[in-house]
Amino acid sequence: MKVLRKQELKKALEALRHYFPQSQEKPDFFNDVIVFTKGKSCLRNILTRTDVLDWKQFISLSIDLQHEEMLKAVALSNGVPMNKMITSHLMSLEDPSNLPSDRLSIQVSSVKESHVALINSAWKFGKGEFTEPLVRSMILNYPSCCVLDSEGQPVSWILTYSNCAMGMGYTLPEHRRKGYSKALATILAKKLHSEGYPVYCFVEEENQLSYSLLKSLGFIVDLSYRNSWFYFNQLSLTP
């Protein structure tokens, strides 16, 4: 083992940035959500550690597709029902300095904890009280931004997941086609880059609207890397 000095740490960080999110190898326990990219033994430990996970609660795994068959086998051997919800492509932006300036006259703010219920209810994978801890943790710990109406309520927003990926973007139906999503994606990408985060996200295969929007901002899709979300326990059987 070698203790890295400051300059060596900077070089290591820069090297890992080029391989995000593949370089993320530590399971991230975030209340009821796990982001996972490790090996079979670690996955088995996760699925069987009742001291960490209560299977009566909402549980999600987000993994690289190369681990999908392994995940199925381990879940089956442990009697844990599972359901794959989505498959997404990785899109990343190498140089946010080329992003356009926001020219919209909009009031932009960070998302607040008081907005948890609204954002959770609008999220397509929201499960009420089961997913609120995830949304709250994202709001309190990671960069976010939203467009506020005249009463100070969010009408469009985008957050950052625990693995640094941009996501959970949404605009209320009555406020669409105003350029809010593009403006917020631009603002958050610049913010993440300025704070040293890699700028990337996962876009569902069938979500052509988001794909086109991000492509127009310079994001590039990596077809060699896909990511899936799985749900476990009785909630996986509900729509």
pLDDT at 98 over 60: yes
The pLDDT tens digits for 65-78 are: 566 777 777 777 77
Mean pLDDT of the chain: 77
C-alpha 6/C-alpha 47 separation (Å) is 37
| Orientation of helix 208-216 relative to helix 180-194, angle to 10° | 60
Lowest-pLDDT choice from 37-41, 151-155, 216-220: 37-41
Domain boundaries, the chain: 6-87+227-237, 92-225
| One-letter identity of residue 20 | F
How many other CB atoms sit within 10 Å of the CB of residue 200? 23
pLDDT per position as a tens digit, 210-232? 999 999 999 999 887 777 777 66
pTM over 0.75: no
Q: How confident is the model at residue 52 (pLDDT cuts 50, 70, 90)?
A: very low
E strands present in the chain? 28-30, 33-35, 59-64, 82-92, 107-109, 145-148, 154-160, 166-171, 200-204, 220-232
143: preceding bond cis by omega (within 30 degrees): no
CATH among 2.40.50.140, 1.10.10.10, 3.40.630.30, 3.30.70.20 for 92-225:
3.40.630.30
Averaged pLDDT for residues 81-104:
82
At residue 50 the predicted structure's pLDDT band, cuts being 50, 70 and 90, is very low
Torsion angle, CA of 108/109/113/115, rounded to 10 degrees? -10
* Cα separation, 75 vs 61, whole angstroms: 12
* CA 23 to chain CA mean position, Å: 15
Fold of 6-87+227-237: Translation Initiation Factor IF3 (3.30.110)
CB 171 within 8 A of CB 145: no
What pLDDT, on the 0 to 100 scale, is given for residue 181?
Answer: 95
